[in-house]
């Protein structure tokens, strides 16, 4: 996997949102859900409508089986909960108002068939929007996960919680992953709502 960067600038995040909003509500939802939850792109693409909605209301959490805890882990089939904040719920409501879905439909359904969009398509969506927004650096689907962690850390979420989400073994590993140098002075805001 190629190394990618988080999007550190809020103005750039908002610019990408505007570009994706003009393009497709599905693509905007992919971006917003990714940067607000830190869910891996492979897990995002496998989500179904029933994972985010009970048919009447949007759920508070998405539950995903976490199979990547490592071979030495006792909890190799642990279920992780990912909180759906107001930004995500707003985009989900818009998306649901524009389409008729059944509970077994994929959330990020391809326009060509009943399958989810591919990782390559998700990459093209994120990468081209970032380029159009004038963002320098390496941007890919993994950027969503890194952007979530970077902003969560900057807004005061404990590094131990972020480590747990990423299944990292040390805070140094997580800080390196987020592109934060050890000893780098960080101004912390306690408010995560991208």
Return the pLDDT at 143.
Answer: 96
Instruction: List, for residues 82-138, the tens digit of each pLDDT value.
Output: 999 999 999 999 999 999 999 999 999 998 999 999 999 999 999 999 999 999 889
Considering 17, 146, 154, 168, which one is annotated as catalytic?
Answer: 168
Q: Which residue is catalytic, options 145, 146, 151, 154?
A: 145
Its sign, for the CA torsion 107, 110, 116, 121, is negative
Of 17, 26, 142, 154, which residue is the catalytic one?
142
Clarify whether 99 is annotated catalytic: no
Say which of 15, 17, 26, 40 is annotated catalytic.
40
- CA–CA distance, 91 with 28 (Å, rounded to integer): 8
Q: Cα–Cα distance between 59 and 77 in angstroms, integer?
A: 22
pLDDT at position 137 is: 85
pLDDT at 192: 60
| CA–CA distance, 30 with 53 (Å, rounded to integer) | 16
pLDDT of the residue at 191: 62
142 is annotated as an active-site residue: yes
Clarify whether 95 is annotated catalytic: no
The stretches in the chain having pLDDT less than 70 are 1-2, 67-76, 182-193
168 annotated active-site: yes
pTM for this entry:
0.88
How much is the pLDDT for 189? 57
**176: annotated active-site residue:** no
């Amino acid at each position: 996997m190629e190394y990618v960067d988080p999007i550190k600038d809020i103005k750039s995040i908002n610019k990408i949102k505007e570009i994706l909003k003009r393009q497709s509500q599905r693509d905007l939802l992919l971006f917003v859900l990714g940067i607000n939850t830190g869910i891996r792109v492979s897990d995002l693409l496998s989500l179904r409508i029933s994972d985010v909605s009970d048919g009447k209301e949007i759920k508070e959490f998405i539950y995903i089986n976490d199979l990547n805890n490592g071979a030495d882990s006792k909890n190799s089939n642990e279920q992780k909960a990912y909180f759906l904040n107001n930004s995500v719920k707003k985009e989900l409501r818009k998306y649901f108002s524009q389409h008729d879905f059944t509970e077994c439909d994929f959330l990020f359904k391809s326009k060509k068939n009943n399958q989810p969009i591919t990782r390559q398509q998700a990459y093209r969506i994120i990468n081209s929007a970032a380029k159009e927004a004038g963002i320098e650096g390496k941007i890919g689907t993994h950027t969503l996960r890194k952007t979530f962690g970077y902003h969560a850390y900057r807004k005061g979420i404990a590094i131990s919680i972020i480590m747990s989400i990423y299944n990292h073994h040390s805070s140094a590993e997580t800080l390196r992953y987020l592109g934060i140098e050890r000893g780098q002075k960080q101004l912390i805001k306690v408010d995560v709502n991208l």
